[in-house]
A and B are shown apart, each in its own frame.
Chain A
Amino acid sequence: MNNSQDLPLKNDIAARFLPLIIGSMVYVGTLCFVFTLFILSATHLWENQLRTQITLEVPTSSLQAQVLQVLGKTPGIQQAAAVPKKEVETLLQSLLGTTLPVDLQALPVLIEISLNGRESLDVPMLEARLKTISPQIQLVDHRPWQTQVESLINASVVLASTLTFLVLLTALVTTTFATRTSLLIHRQVIEVLHLIGATNGYIARQFQVHALKQGLIASAIGAAFAFLTFLGITTLLEKAGLPSTSLSSFSLQAFCVFALSPFVTGFFMMLSARLTVMRGLHL
């Protein structure tokens, strides 16, 4: 017995490819959105590091103790420590490979300075005091190019958000066109429904229930594939050396996006179908 489908919407030629289109859109859309979240999450971590860390290059290890003593007395510095030679070696090997011989003794000592954030560091004064120890000591302050990095990040976020929005918009426009075509295909059945007293709302409900079902199923499949792609990408990123801590915090957000996207898509498809039918029947 038939309870909800007085219109044969399942057999529509126009709507046959809709699940495929919606599934693909959701796949691209969720990945774009998750990418946006990833950029925001990762850059938050980087921004913190850029804002609170400075690196010193000291030409020889004999000057290390003297430099650390000066740093210890400088206001605004929370902690200063030399980067272990082993870490420097690993860093260089990841950039140059293992085949090139590296003389670690000839390399400058790297000192990482963590700022406390409460007091401001007087960089010119610190530089002047360090030059009295050795003119070859170099202070690498990352903060001046933080603004440029922020601009780049913002641009990426805007781009990814725009893509997500465009994908959602395309999905809605596709649903609207498919619904309009359905209205034309079934105009005779709709006429009969009207003549036996069906309201526009009753007819619209048939379309919106169908759109909701299609949206839920298609976008669940799209989101599942996007989730698998996401898992693959994060595994590759972890293998490439991205700290897993930067991924773990955002993984929960990403999972929520994948889990909610079918419901959000289904809801908007349902809404789009209803508005299209109500408007179409009113004209």
Chain B
Amino acid sequence: MSDCIAQFVGVGHEYKKGAEIFKGATFNIEPGSFHFLTGPSGSGKSSLLKMLYLGLKPTWGSIRLFGEDPLKIKPSLLPLLRQQVGVVFQEFKLLDHLKVIDNVSLPLRVRGVEAKRSYRDARELLHWVGLGDSLQSYPATLSGGQQQRVAIARAVITRPQLLLADEPTGNVDDDMAIKLLHLFEELNKMGTAIVIATHNQRLLDRSPYPQLTIRRGTIVRTPKRSLP
């Protein structure tokens, strides 16, 4: 099990106000896997993703990410773990003072990739998600759907080992949702493990991938199914 990308054993979390969101979540994310994370509103999908991208510590239980215990490793090594994870945040978290191309190329610059290459990759990716005309725009001037695509481009530009997406199709129409799903699938074919938190029932119905459903504080895994 040590070759798992993420390993959750009996993980629980309780916010300071006493609201308990998990009792004992146990599951694994294997390399190259594709999962949907579902559950009713407020069940803790975003919190679970936060734990996966090391934005939230569990109150109990243990987490291993890429074979490491994030609570025990040296703080200086945390960025190395995070660099292997791409995240599409529900609220996008784009940097408003940076142009679209700067936002998308940021993860590469952070990793020390030379500016010329990082801007070339960002330009290609933005063309692919249909934002080739908005390279020099600022996020605030874009629609919700366009901002979402920028956020997705920023998350996938580094070809991470694990991609986490929180409602990535929440602000786009069905056609764009399918296109984005194809993008995730392409990335998955190249070996990236994907976890998508979503409410989009149509997306769930037309996809064969296994689902992790949060139900009464625990994780229920629905296996991969064949589509009709």
User: Which residues in A have some Cβ–Cβ distance to B below 8 Å?
Assistant: 1-3, 6, 8, 11, 189, 192-200, 202, 282
Contacts and interface: CB of A to CB of B under 8 A. Distances in A.
7 contacts: A1-B102, A3-B115, A189-B95, A195-B53, A195-B87, A196-B154, A282-B75
A97 to B, nearest CB: 69
Given A6-B106, A8-B97, A195-B55, 9 more contacts: A1-B115, A1-B119, A3-B115, A192-B95, A196-B82, A196-B110, A197-B83, A198-B110, A199-B79
Contacts of A200: 76, 79
A194 B102 CA distance: 16
Interface residues of B, number: 25
Nearest to B92: A192
Given A194-B79, A196-B154, A282-B75, A2 B102 contact: yes
Contacts of B80: 197
Interface of B: 53, 55, 75-76, 79-80, 82-83, 85, 87, 93, 95, 97-99, 101-102, 106-107, 109-111, 115, 119, 154
Given A1-B115, A3-B115, A282-B75, A197 B98 contact: no
Contacts of A11: 97
Contacts of A202: 110
A282 B95 CA distance: 23
A4 to B, nearest CB: 9
A196 B95 CA distance: 12
Contacts of A196: 82, 87, 106-107, 110, 154
List the 5 closest pairs (A to B, CB-CB), nearest first: A197-B83, A8-B97, A2-B102, A197-B82, A198-B110
Contact of B109 (A6, A194, A199, A282): A6
